[in-house]
Structure 1
Amino acid sequence: MAEEPLLMNFSLGNDAILVQPKFKGGRWRERRGLRKATGPTGVNTDSILERHSKRQKTGNSDGPTRSIDYQRRTGLRHGVISSLFSYNPKIQSVTDRAEQESTTLPSNAPLVDGIDTFTSLGLSPIIASHLLTKLDIKAPTAIQKTTISRLLSGDTDALIQAETGSGKTLAYLLPIVQRIVQISEQKSKNGNDTNYQIHRDSGLFAIILAPTRELSKQISVVLDSLLGCARWIVSGTVIGGEKRKSEKARLRKGLNILVATPGRLVDHLEHTEVLDVSNVRWLVLDEGDRLMELGFEDDIKKILDKLEQKKGKSGAISDLPSKRTTILCSATMKTNVHKLGEISLKDAIHIQAEADAQQLLQEPTTSTDPIFSAPAQLQQSYIVAPAKQRLVTLYAILKRSFSHKGSVMKAMIFFTCADSVNFHYEVFARKVGQQNTSQLSDSTPELPTQCHSSVLSSVNNPDIMLYKLYGNLTQQMRTATLKAFSRNPNPSILLCTDVASRGLDLPSMDLVIEYDPAFSAEEHLHRIGRTARAGRDGRAIVFLLPGPEELYIPTLKHGFKDKRVNGSLSEDILRKAFAPAIASQTRETWEDNATGWQLEIERWLQSDSKIADLARKAYVSHVRAYSTHVVPERHIFNVKELHLGHLAKAFALRDQPSNMGRGGKGDEGKQDTGKHKGRNRDRSRNPAASDIDNARNSAPDPKEAARQMRKALNAMNPASEFNIA
């Protein structure tokens, strides 16, 4: 007998089956209260809101109306509770919250106006007049005054040490150009014919080595503008990222002064027969400490050997100096700079600005303890911000800085990795008219990465432009971005990695923000040196986390004439930026407004899977980069002290990504497999770059770590010698 089906003769009401909603974020007691208060019609949050209203201590009594608005702002109606201001670690450092104006006189400003100042140093009237009329340079800086006179008086090697922004580039370019002009004038006088002047076929007389492509380009621009008074002298560049064929054609036509990166110059010395270095009499090593840090020691040795082998083997011009002069420039005197000096310099003189030398006599220090590494007029400050408040605090600073027209024209924000640059770029530029910024293509040289920022723009500054710069961009894109950022007359912000920290002279740079602290104290000095250049004022702000990172504050004071460094708390910044304009007409508080902005970004991530994936990649890359600080500072920046859950809030993530140790997600949201498993996807494109990370983290001995890093850098393709940032 077949079994009969069981029939149920009772009915279910519409409200009998309930789905318990999930609540994320906030305090666990609040989440528990919301779950208990869940009823047939949804979520009843009146009790939670009532307790929150009491905590706000506001005098108005219209609680129910505020509760509805508060639900809409903070996302309680969607089952989300913000926790920006709860369970943050206690701040231990004593901060000086008063913003004080610096009265210190600029230490890198030009000295005395007048054309006679340059001529008295030994420069020809033609060059001095060109500096005044065409380049608007009225007087030399202290380091230029000392260097020009010393280099023109003899052919000895020199080690130039000066603070950032003091004009070191012109300090070594002017003597070289002056000597070549003198040789040209002498040949013209003896031959009584202008055809005997030096021209591009006369040979290569000077080589200038720089660690990065951007710095090489900038030196080339300064040199070209200086050679406007001597058109017969021809300069050029050979750098990574450019086509070798076009560079060979340039070398075949002939150059008198060559600006190059070490890797590409070694490549041409080995494979380009038309490159003749027999007449080279001046070799400049700019940013010597960075050259050593990037592992160019072997390349520099090869270049020096080639110069010695080829010396005088072709028809040298008789008026050239008999020996080669090598000039080493550095803002710091670290151990690796001394090592580079031992390799390249012979009987060198140490050149410093007169003020620096006098201070050195009054306060003697060791060779590794530089004096005046940063300009005296630079106003430096720090902000202690809990991890959950970092993103909204950065927005608050930018919003306040650009609130008044003309107060800040140009700003730079430094991050430790390219993924973080991309994520924050999208956050602050998520609308361009009616389209998303992700529609802009990085592969179009004519269209640098820029857009109008709807987040930061205001009535006073409606056209704030955003740019991004990091090593993995194409060379054409990097060049176009820097050019557009420098020439833009409107307020602009550059989001970048350390690829922009060395040597770049960007006009009207008013503010530098180190959102992620530098990997070393020396790199910090170079970052903040992008502002307060040539006697101009400038500000620098460093973000620090509560806890061990507060031990970094004494390092910020190092190298400053004025040891006072102003500090503030993130809540002070948020209170000023998010306080209601008319408090009597609204019950909204600055905490509510800051929370509302944070939740807006979080909802945006939830609605866009590509942006959410970008945020996760940025989070993972940031944590990995955090572990690469130099050994002496790892007790300050200890990755084990990071609260990974709180840090996720800084990337608008509501949960810590679950794939921290497995290399991130791919473009389709799938986990990477195969040979790229366990690597950052950006690093997997260049295996040598992953070896650099391994070298940083694996060897506890600093010397062994440096050796492994140099080995990894040398294994990289010369065309991508600085694509690691």
Structure 2
Amino acid sequence: MQTAATRNRNIITSNIHGLVEDVPMEDAKPTNAPLIDGLDTFTNLGLSPSLAAHLLTKMELKAPTAIQRASISQLLKEDSDAFIQAETGSGKTLAYLLPLVQRIMALSNPKNMSGVTDSRGEPVVHRDSGLFAIILAPTRELCKQISVVLEGLLRCAHWIVAGTVIGGEKKKSEKARLRKGLNILVATPGRLADHLENTQALDVSNVRWLVLDEGDRLMELGFEKELQGIIEKLTARQRPSRIPGVPANRTTILCSATLKMNVQKLGEISLKDAVHIKADPADEDGEPRKKDDDGFRVPAQLKQSYAIVAAKLRLVTLTAYLKRTFMRKGSVMKAIVFVSCADSVDFHFEVFSRKNQYREQSEEEKEDDNEDAAKTKSEASPHRTIAPATAFSNPSNPVTLHKLHGSLPQHVRTATLNAFARNTEPSVLVCTDVASRGLDLPNVDLVIEYDPAFSADDHTHRIGRTARLGRDGRALIFLMPGCEENYVEILKRGYRDGGKTLTRTTAEDILKRSFGGNLQSAGKDWEEKATDWQMDLERWAVDNPEYLEMARRGYQSHIRAYATHIASERSMFNIKELHLGHLAKSFALRDRPSKINVPGLRPGKDDAKKDYKAERNTAGKKRKAPGGGRDDGDVPSNDTTSAAQMMRAKLKQHMAAGASEFNLA
């Protein structure tokens, strides 16, 4: 009998994989799926019958995953610190939440997990009993997700109260919640450090469990100082508890996918005589793993491909790929497109949702579209995050487009994520790395890295949004010809088989399939259709000043972001090798790079000084700000002789190489 999961896998294979190479491929055994029913149950691991029954009946979890089996039994029987290492999508959140919730439930009565009551008929543990556990996560979105899972667990223990304190929320409201009392707190490090310093109502004397989720990301985001301060304050303020069963000492749990140097440093700060917990290799794929194989591995059932696409063909190729992906209803439910910066997210969101998408139209239809476009110009609001994906929808399969980045207000980010997660129809999320870590977005079948991640670790977390908990998934990364092709060797390192299942495609293959039907019957008309689409997009940008400015911002921010790849990978993403003129085409710009200038770019990571140094080497000297100093929001405006010569030389190289791409100039 064919299961729903199998049917879904076959559909995805026939549609997405057909865009890459029509080669037979055996289905890999999932490495992060729940274990087979009957071999291990939650009760066998030591969970109470009431909690195990809640998992089965209310949360529809029949069996633990490999990492959950390893973690739950260890954390229930011992109070020692622990380092949990698990691949993405393996159920790591429940691996630490289940033991934590059970231990707090047991405080009501160590002999009865159902929550015995005192003489007044109230549970022994309630919200006024004190704060027992703190869970720290690097991003607001991950905190929200952990909180949702935790609230679902606590429906079987209503007397235990959980809450969150995160950046972007009103501190006054958070203080009010803290005064009422919480037993479990989910927080971002910065906001928790703030409350520990300034909120008297936050009593941490009873905290006996501290969880540091996504430890590598906590360190990468610069939270080391805050984490050290938090740990010191928790230690200094700890007091013996009057509640029976509360451990004498605090247990710290550090979670991370990798054992990098910064994670080891965090472990030195937070852990003491920690137990290293990771899934048994035999549970993951049935094959023993080498002793020195402690690196991160992508799930075996994830099928990944890479597309070699010239800079000027990037946007039309991305659109063509998405158009082909959503050609038939039911082929793909959800896809995530990762780009490098917030300005690029805004631009691509408007491109994919614009009303007058190119197609062969009658004059009457064109007039109607022009009227609609005039009416909706005001819709280019930075806070408009959901719209129909007109660029790759069709009447039989409408697609909803979402956007997400860190510069959006917190309530908008939360609402957008919830809308994308709950949407039961085909949908696409265009986002930055704000959605790459820890978030469990259901039914994501496809991840597209339109802009490669700034490090191999970030890449692994991006593609980890699909192929979760045993589901199949697909991932595609865009690479430009030249030095970026060397990145393929980095991709292969994430595979147990050395990258044998990694497949290659080109812009021409994708464009032929989308604009020409299929590779065998496609004539030269696909070139004309693709060229017409690009030219129509450029006219749209020229005719709409607000979108033209958005395109320029996206282009400039993209160049700055390109310069932030980690040092060990910078040779593969060398900003000096970029063809700035061709790259401008991918943002629908016709201007020379030296003429593209927008003052007052979005503040943030894009304004790092090292980005400017790289830009000066490629596009000339920086423009002086009005006050005589530098305006950190601007980009190079002077077209130096060396930059022009370099661009001409690259163009000659491109032509001499006999490139088959059509001319979009």
TM-score in same-fold range (> 0.5): yes
Q: Does 1:344 align with 2:259?
A: no
Q: Where in structure 1 are there 5+ consecutive unaligned residues?
A: 1-94, 666-671, 673-679, 700-725
Structure 1 residue aligned with 2:388:
452
Q: Does 1:275 align with 2:202?
A: yes
CA distance in 1 between partners of 2:45 and 2:381 (Å): 47
Q: 1:438 to 1:248 in 2, by over 3 A?
A: farther
Structure 1 residue aligned with 2:609:
694
Give the letter for the 1:575 counterpart. Answer: K
Give the letter for the 2:416 counterpart. Answer: T
Instruction: State the Cα distance separating 1:122 from its structure 2 match.
Output: 0.4
CA distance in 2 between partners of 1:418 and 1:225 (Å): 32
Q: Of residues 593, 602, 607 in structure 2, which corresponds to 1:682?
A: 602
Give the letter for the 1:608 counterpart. Answer: N
CA distance in 2 between partners of 1:582 and 1:169 (Å): 44
Larger Rg: 1
Structure 2 residue aligned with 1:558:
493
Q: Aligned runs of 1:400-411 on 2, under 5 Å?
A: 400-411=324-335
Instruction: State the Cα distance separating 1:558 from its structure 2 match.
Output: 1.5
8 Å Cα contact 2:209-2:251 kept in structure 1: yes
Range 237-246 or range 561-570, more displaced: 561-570
8 Å Cα contact 1:513-1:541 kept in structure 2: yes
Instruction: State the Cα distance separating 1:322 from its structure 2 match.
Output: 1.0
Instruction: State the Cα distance separating 1:316 from its structure 2 match.
Output: 3.7
Q: Does 1:579 align with 2:516?
A: yes
Give the letter for the 2:159 counterpart. Answer: W
CA distance in 1 between partners of 2:613 and 2:125 (Å): 53
Structure 2 residue aligned with 1:416:
340
Q: Of residues 429, 432, 439 in structure 1, which corresponds to 2:378?
A: 439
8 Å Cα contact 1:580-1:589 kept in structure 2: no
Instruction: State the Cα distance separating 1:440 from its structure 2 match.
Output: 3.8
Structure 1 residue aligned with 2:13:
none
Structure 2 residue aligned with 1:327:
253
Q: 1:417 to 1:690 in 2, by over 3 A?
A: closer
CA distance in 1 between partners of 2:183 and 2:170 (Å): 21
Structure 2 residue aligned with 1:507:
442
Give the letter for the 1:593 counterpart. Answer: K
CA distance in 2 between partners of 1:219 and 1:441 (Å): 33
Structure 2 residue aligned with 1:248:
175
Structure 1 residue aligned with 2:163:
236
Give the letter for the 1:235 counterpart. Answer: A
Structure 2 residue aligned with 1:468:
403
Structure 1 residue aligned with 2:657:
none
CA distance in 2 between partners of 1:424 and 1:443 (Å): 12
SS in 1 for 2:388: coil
Structure 2 residue aligned with 1:257:
184
8 Å Cα contact 1:383-1:567 kept in structure 2: yes
Give the letter for the 1:261 counterpart. Answer: T
8 Å Cα contact 1:544-1:550 kept in structure 2: yes
SS in 1 for 2:386: coil
CA distance in 1 between partners of 2:223 and 2:320 (Å): 41
Q: Of residues 458, 471, 474 in structure 2, which corresponds to 1:523?
A: 458
Instruction: State the Cα distance separating 1:190 from its structure 2 match.
Output: 8.9
CA distance in 1 between partners of 2:39 and 2:29 (Å): 23
Structure 1 residue aligned with 2:658:
none
Q: Does 1:570 align with 2:496?
A: no
CA distance in 2 between partners of 1:530 and 1:248 (Å): 34
Range 641-650 or range 545-554, more displaced: 641-650
Q: Does 1:119 align with 2:49?
A: no
8 Å Cα contact 1:430-1:437 kept in structure 2: no
8 Å Cα contact 1:98-1:566 kept in structure 2: no
Q: Of residues 317, 321, 324 in structure 1, which corresponds to 2:243?
A: 317
Q: Does 1:647 align with 2:563?
A: no
Q: Where in structure 2 are there 5+ consecutive unaligned residues?
A: 1-18, 357-368, 615-665
Deviations 1:555-590 (A, max 9, x none): 111122232211111101111111169999x98611
SS in 1 for 2:245: coil
8 Å Cα contact 2:252-2:270 kept in structure 1: yes
Q: Of residues 395, 398, 403 in structure 1, which corresponds to 2:319?
A: 395
Q: Of residues 327, 344, 350 in structure 2, which corresponds to 1:426?
A: 350
Range 296-305 or range 553-562, more displaced: 553-562
Q: 1:295 to 1:698 in 2, by over 3 A?
A: farther
Deviations 1:206-251 (A, max 9, x none): 0000000000000000000111110100000000000000000000
Range 434-443 or range 535-544, more displaced: 434-443
CA distance in 2 between partners of 1:347 and 1:119 (Å): 28
Q: Does 1:203 align with 2:130?
A: yes
SS in 2 for 1:510: strand
Q: Of residues 170, 173, 177 in structure 1, which corresponds to 2:101?
A: 177
Q: Aligned runs of 1:40-51 on 2, under 5 Å?
A: none
Deviations 1:354-383 (A, max 9, x none): 1179999742327xx6142x1110001000
Deviations 1:297-327 (A, max 9, x none): 00001100111111116x5423101111000
8 Å Cα contact 1:219-1:259 kept in structure 2: yes
How many equivalent residue pairs? 575
Structure 1 residue aligned with 2:75:
151
Superposed CA RMSD in Å reads: 2.5
Instruction: State the Cα distance separating 1:617 from its structure 2 match.
Output: 1.1
SS in 2 for 1:552: helix
SS in 2 for 1:208: strand
Structure 1 residue aligned with 2:291:
364
Q: Does 1:165 align with 2:100?
A: no
Q: Of residues 525, 528, 542 in structure 2, which corresponds to 1:592?
A: 528
CA distance in 2 between partners of 1:524 and 1:137 (Å): 29
Q: Of residues 464, 468, 483 in structure 2, which corresponds to 1:533?
A: 468
Q: Of residues 208, 213, 223 in structure 1, which corresponds to 2:140?
A: 213
Q: Aligned runs of 1:608-647 on 2, under 5 Å?
A: 608-647=544-583
Q: 1:254 to 1:443 in 2, by over 3 A?
A: farther
Structure 2 residue aligned with 1:497:
432
Range 378-387 or range 113-122, more displaced: 113-122
CA distance in 2 between partners of 1:167 and 1:341 (Å): 21
Give the letter for the 1:181 counterpart. Answer: M
8 Å Cα contact 2:66-2:284 kept in structure 1: no
Give the letter for the 2:99 counterpart. Answer: P
CA distance in 1 between partners of 2:548 and 2:166 (Å): 36
Q: 1:233 to 1:443 in 2, by over 3 A?
A: farther
CA distance in 1 between partners of 2:613 and 2:206 (Å): 45
Structure 1 residue aligned with 2:231:
304
Q: Does 1:477 align with 2:416?
A: no
CA distance in 2 between partners of 1:237 and 1:587 (Å): 58
CA distance in 2 between partners of 1:102 and 1:477 (Å): 42
Give the letter for the 1:682 counterpart. Answer: R
CA distance in 1 between partners of 2:239 and 2:342 (Å): 46
8 Å Cα contact 1:141-1:166 kept in structure 2: yes
SS in 2 for 1:215: helix
If the length of structure 1 is used for normalisation, what is the TM-score? 0.76
Q: Does 1:135 align with 2:59?
A: yes
SS in 2 for 1:597: helix
Structure 2 residue aligned with 1:43:
none
Instruction: State the Cα distance separating 1:149 from its structure 2 match.
Output: 0.5
Give the letter for the 2:210 counterpart. Answer: L
8 Å Cα contact 2:560-2:612 kept in structure 1: no
8 Å Cα contact 1:148-1:172 kept in structure 2: yes
Q: Of residues 29, 33, 56 in structure 2, which corresponds to 1:109?
A: 33
8 Å Cα contact 2:137-2:143 kept in structure 1: yes
Q: 1:485 to 1:690 in 2, by over 3 A?
A: closer
Instruction: State the Cα distance separating 1:496 from its structure 2 match.
Output: 0.3
Instruction: State the Cα distance separating 1:186 from its structure 2 match.
Output: 3.3
